[in-house]
């Protein structure tokens, strides 16, 4: 498995906290990492892939930086907002463009700002830019009204050099947050509870460069499991962390995918050629619940399963934009509020479709594997934002899939 996009981007942002050379291993070769590298570069850092091992990123962070995340980058990649906390912590100021909505719908950052205010930062917004200031951040107890991943990360990144103790309550518990806490620890931070719902940070005076291996991408692993569920056969997903995917694996097993924990790999076997997956109901929730990022894959699987499955989205209200695309492929799906009612059909039929975002794009590719005839996924650049060689990997598994042309039956 490649390293997790949603961890690598935050680890890269964390390097801003300490001058010197940081080393990150297992960094996925994806477009979003390139964008984060560009953001760090514009702020004055030097980011390079090691020539003898392109999965290793070295980041040289200078003493002085331009503490600004401009609109052209924030607009392309919303995760840029996570530089706010580290810039405030290190330079006492930060300018970050206000992110707009995206294909998930409206995505506010009020919890990021309120939490940072609890640590002593002040914000003004004009001309689409948030300007933050903080003479010296002060440790405090912050109670998040919802376990937001991004808000937890921004607070953690701000708190590590704040004066005194910070306690983040109702923190997000995603494995990528534990990964960030582990990296910060290699930088000299004193963090306990990362990955749990209460994170305690003892602020330290200064940090030094860190070194870390990015946690495997659980969403990428799920994509290959879904591909096997759709197309049949079996797969070993090397390096997948079964312990990070328990709820999802429970749902996939209930659908009839056989999943075995092989220690450092995950085995999955689809039902035989004459059997179908069976429908189940699934609700997305913050970790350890079933991640919202898995949902398009689950909808694709349910669209060919036997029976009716109801998917309930509890994280991003508007995250259903790919459903009309699956319907174009013959899926029988009705959306009611934040529920999708999926009535499984015998087979999908290939069609031209459009990828609205990273995970939905991957789900359409996966759906194309099982569809009769050719499926062409337009706007495939979304997929490259989050997947290192999805097409190559699927092709190696025997799928008839190519970049720039067509995706057909296996």
Which residues bind to ligand UD1, rule: CB under 6 A? 6, 9, 79, 107-112, 146, 148-151, 172, 291-293, 315-316
**Closer Cβ to ligand UD1, 315 or 326, answer by number:** 315
**Closer Cβ to ligand UD1, 118 or 293, answer by number:** 293
Spacing of C-alpha 366 from chain mean position: 18
The CB-of-395 to ligand UD1 minimum distance in angstroms stands at 26
**Closer Cβ to ligand UD1, 250 or 306, answer by number:** 250
Catalytic residue among 55, 102, 281, 306: 102
The CB-of-163 to ligand UD1 minimum distance in angstroms stands at 24
The CB-of-63 to ligand UD1 minimum distance in angstroms stands at 28
List the beta strands (DSSP E) in 177-272.
Answer: 190-192, 198-202, 211-213, 234-238, 258-261, 265-269
Residues with Cβ within 8 Å of residue 12, at least 6 apart in sequence:
24, 33, 36, 37, 40, 47, 57, 59
The CB-of-64 to ligand UD1 minimum distance in angstroms stands at 27
**Closer Cβ to ligand UD1, 160 or 219, answer by number:** 219
The CB-of-149 to ligand UD1 minimum distance in angstroms stands at 4
Instruction: Assign 3-class secondary structure to 226-243.
Output: HHHHHHCCEEEEECCCHH
| Alpha-carbon span 96 to 282, nearest angstrom | 36
Angle at 394 between CA 260 and CA 223, to 5 degrees: 50
Structure tokens at 392: 């190559």
Q: How far is CA 102 from CA 76, 78, 111, in A?
A: 10, 9, 18
Residues with Cβ within 8 Å of residue 359, at least 6 apart in sequence:
219, 223, 293, 294, 295, 296, 297, 386
Strand partners, 290: 284
- Which position's Cβ is nearest ligand UD1? 150
The CB-of-402 to ligand UD1 minimum distance in angstroms stands at 27
**Closer Cβ to ligand UD1, 111 or 355, answer by number:** 111
Instruction: Write the DSSP symbol of residue 18.
Output: S
**Closer Cβ to ligand UD1, 101 or 392, answer by number:** 101
Q: Is 102 a catalytic residue?
A: yes
Structure tokens at 171: 């923190």
Active site residues: 102
């Amino acid at each position: 498995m490649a390293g997790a996009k949603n961890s690598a981007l935050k680890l890269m942002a964390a390097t801003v906290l300490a001058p010197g050379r940081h080393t990150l291993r297992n960094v996925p070769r994806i477009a979003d990492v390139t964008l984060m590298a560009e953001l760090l570069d514009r702020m004055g850092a030097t980011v390079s892939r090691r020539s003898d091992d392109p999965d290793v990123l070295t980041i040289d962070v200078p003493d002085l930086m331009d503490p600004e995340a401009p609109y052209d980058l924030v607009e392309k990649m919303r995760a840029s907002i996570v530089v706010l906390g580290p810039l405030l912590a290190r330079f006492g100021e930060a300018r970050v463009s206000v992110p707009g909505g995206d294909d998930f719908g409206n995505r506010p950052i009020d919890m990021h700002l309120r939490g940072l205010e609890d640590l002593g930062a002040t914000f003004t917004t004009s001309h689409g830019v948030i300007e933050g200031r903080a003479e010296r951040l002060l440790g405090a107890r912050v109670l998040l009204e919802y376990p937001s991943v991004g808000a937890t990360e921004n607070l953690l990144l701000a708190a590590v050099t704040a004066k005194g103790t910070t306690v983040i309550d109702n923190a997000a518990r995603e494995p990528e947050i534990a990964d960030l806490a582990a990296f910060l620890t290699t930088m000299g931070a004193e963090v306990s509870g990362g990955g749990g719902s209460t994170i305690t940070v003892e602020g330290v005076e200064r940090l030094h460069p860190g070194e870390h291996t990015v946690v495997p991408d659980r969403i990428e692993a799920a994509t290959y499991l879904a591909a096997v569920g759709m197309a049949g056969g079996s797969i070993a997903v090397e390096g997948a962390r079964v312990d990070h995917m328990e709820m999802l694996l429970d749902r996939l097993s209930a659908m009839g995918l056989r999943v075995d924990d092989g220690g450092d790999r995950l085995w999955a076997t689809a039902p035989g050629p004459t059997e179908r997956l069976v429908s189940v109901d699934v609700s997305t929730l913050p970790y350890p619940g079933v991640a919202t990022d898995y949902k398009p894959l689950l909808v694709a699987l349910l669209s060919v399963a036997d029976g009716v499955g109801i998917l309930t989205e509890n994280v991003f209200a508007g995250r259903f934009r790919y459903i009309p695309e699956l319907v174009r492929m013959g899926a029988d799906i009705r959306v009611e509020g934040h529920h999708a009612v999926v009535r499984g059909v015998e087979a999908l039929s290939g069609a031209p479709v459009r990828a609205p975002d990273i995970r939905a794009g991957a789900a359409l590719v996966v759906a194309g594997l099982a569809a009769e005839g050719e499926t062409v996924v337009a706007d495939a650049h979304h997929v490259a934002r989050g997947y290192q060689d999805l097409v190559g990997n699927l092709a190696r598994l025997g799928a008839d899939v190519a970049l720039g042309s067509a995706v057909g039956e296996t």
